[in-house]
Amino acid sequence: MNITYRSILILYSLHKLDGERTVYGIHHLLNGKKSSQTIGDANLFGLTPLFGILRPIGREQVEKEIQILREHALIEEITASSNKFTITSLGERVLKKEFENKPIPPHLNGWKHNEQSILLWRRLSLLTQVLSNLVNGKKQYTPIQQEDSIVDWVKGFLIKYGHTRFTLSEAIYNEVLSVLEMVTELESTIFVMRLTSSARIGYTIDQISSLLGEDEIWCQVLFLHTLHTIIHHLEMNRHSFPLLGSMIEANHQEEVLLTVSTKKTYQLLLQGKTIDEIGIIRNLKRNTIEDHIVEVTHQKPDFSIDRFVTHEHQQQILSVYKTLNVKQLRPLKEKLSIDISYFEIRLVLARFGGKHGS
């Protein structure tokens, strides 16, 4: 059976969603759409590793992949035209077999690391190119990164670290070599092939997959995983890699966990403002503020939901949730007392939903 890794990732997403969301939820997830619904689903269904890792992927491409999976009898639609699918027993076997050879890498986390990895790659790839040309005495070349902020950062980096070009090049080389020892040989090969030097332009993922005879999306996932692994280790042990550590923003993770509008709401929540007060201050509807609070609950483990959901209601919601083992709101609401709101259910699922069920 000739199935691409893109198909496998979509099959895995369908397996995790288990018919509780439409395929368009997968489209938003793989594109990294920063909406309350998509962010909530990524956390609720354990799909944060895949958040935004196929960006950009078109809706038509997702529909095409769904059709391929259907033709191979790997998935089946719950009801006609529902766009909700569950995977078949054959689909489970194929997924298990594929993941034996190509599992989702351990440090892959699109939701947590994507923004940082983009920044790290742009800075590192340009810096590597500039130093390579300096060392080899070449003054005429086209920068691999054209963005002004990246170019300015590299200039500032070269001024700040006043080593000779040879010393600085060797220091960066040693740090990169050390972190590449933390990933597989294939991953480090892909990473190095993407770098640009004075001698050649870095290869694209498409070119690399052709040269290595590997699936293109698998190569893309491994490249992202290498960047995510570097960031993971920099966050844990930044002082061991001072040059690479300077390429990511300090406290950046705190910033990217919440969307811009949600951060503003969160600051007002910390001041003790009520939902209605925040709605007036920000000129936003109550539903929007509630969406923000659900997002905060997903991203901030220490954020208490007690002011919005009584302990009694929390226990009732959890009891019904564990009995039904679904993450759809309507079936849960129908089994709960009428005074429990959808907002309360969403908050309890955001806090506890990922800790129960598959």
Average pLDDT over every residue of 40-56: 92
Average pLDDT over every residue of 267-287: 94
283 conformational bin, left if phi > 0, alpha if psi -120 to 50, beta if neither: left
Residues 120 and 45 in one domain: no
Predicted pLDDT of residue 39: 87
The pLDDT of residue 343 is above 90: yes
Residues 187 and 212 in one domain: yes
Residues 148 and 88 in one domain: no
DSSP state of 199: S
The span from the CA of 145 to the CA of 154, in Å, is: 10
Predicted pLDDT of residue 89: 97
Q: What percent of the chain has pLDDT over 90?
A: 76
CATH number at residue 290: 1.10.10
Average pLDDT over every residue of 21-25: 92
The pLDDT of residue 252 is above 60: no
Nearest to 92 by CA among 182, 18, 15: 15
Residues 124 and 181 in one domain: yes
Neighbours of 4 (CB within 10 A): 14
Binned at pLDDT 50, 70 and 90, residue 354 comes out as: low
Residues 168 and 227 in one domain: yes
Question: What's the pLDDT tens digit per position in 29-38?
Answer: 999 998 888 9
Binned at pLDDT 50, 70 and 90, residue 258 comes out as: confident
The pLDDT of residue 254 is above 70: no
Domain closes at, from 101, 121, 152: 101
Predicted pLDDT of residue 251: 55
The span from the CA of 46 to the CA of 42, in Å, is: 6
Residues 78 and 184 in one domain: no
Average pLDDT over every residue of 143-161: 92
Tokens 């990895």 found at: 117
Predicted pLDDT of residue 358: 33
What are the DSSP calls for 32-91, one per residue?
T---HHHHHHHHHTT-GGGTTTT-S--HHHHHHHHHHHHHTTSEEESSTT---EEE-HHH
Binned at pLDDT 50, 70 and 90, residue 97 comes out as: very high
Write the CB contacts of 81 (distance below 8 Å, at least 6 apart in sequence). Answer: none
Average pLDDT over every residue of 2-28: 94
Domain closes at, from 101, 131, 161: 101
Residues 175 and 290 in one domain: no
Residues 80 and 145 in one domain: no
Predicted pLDDT of residue 357: 37
Domain closes at, from 72, 101, 130: 101
Residues 265 and 249 in one domain: no
Predicted pLDDT of residue 250: 62
Structure tokens at 51: 């958040």
Question: What's the pLDDT tens digit per position in 154-171?
Answer: 999 998 886 688 899 999
pTM to 2 decimals? 0.86
Structural domain including 89 reads 5-101
Structure tokens at 168: 């600085």
CATH number at residue 91: 1.10.10.10
Residues 40 and 154 in one domain: no
Residues 124 and 243 in one domain: yes
Residues 148 and 241 in one domain: yes
- Residue 26 in contact with residue 13, Cβ under 8 Å? yes
- Residue 294 in contact with residue 42, Cβ under 8 Å? no
Predicted pLDDT of residue 134: 92
List, as own/partner pairs, every contact residues 30-38 make where C-beta atoms lie below 8 angstroms and the sequence separation is at least 24, other chains included: 30/54, 30/55, 30/57, 30/62, 31/55, 31/56, 31/57, 32/110, 32/111, 32/114, 34/259, 36/291, 36/292, 36/294, 36/295
- Residue 347 in contact with residue 293, Cβ under 8 Å? yes
Residue 226 CA, distance from chain mean position: 14
Predicted pLDDT of residue 248: 86
Structural domains of the chain, count: 3
Question: What's the pLDDT tens digit per position in 286-300?
Answer: 999 999 999 999 888
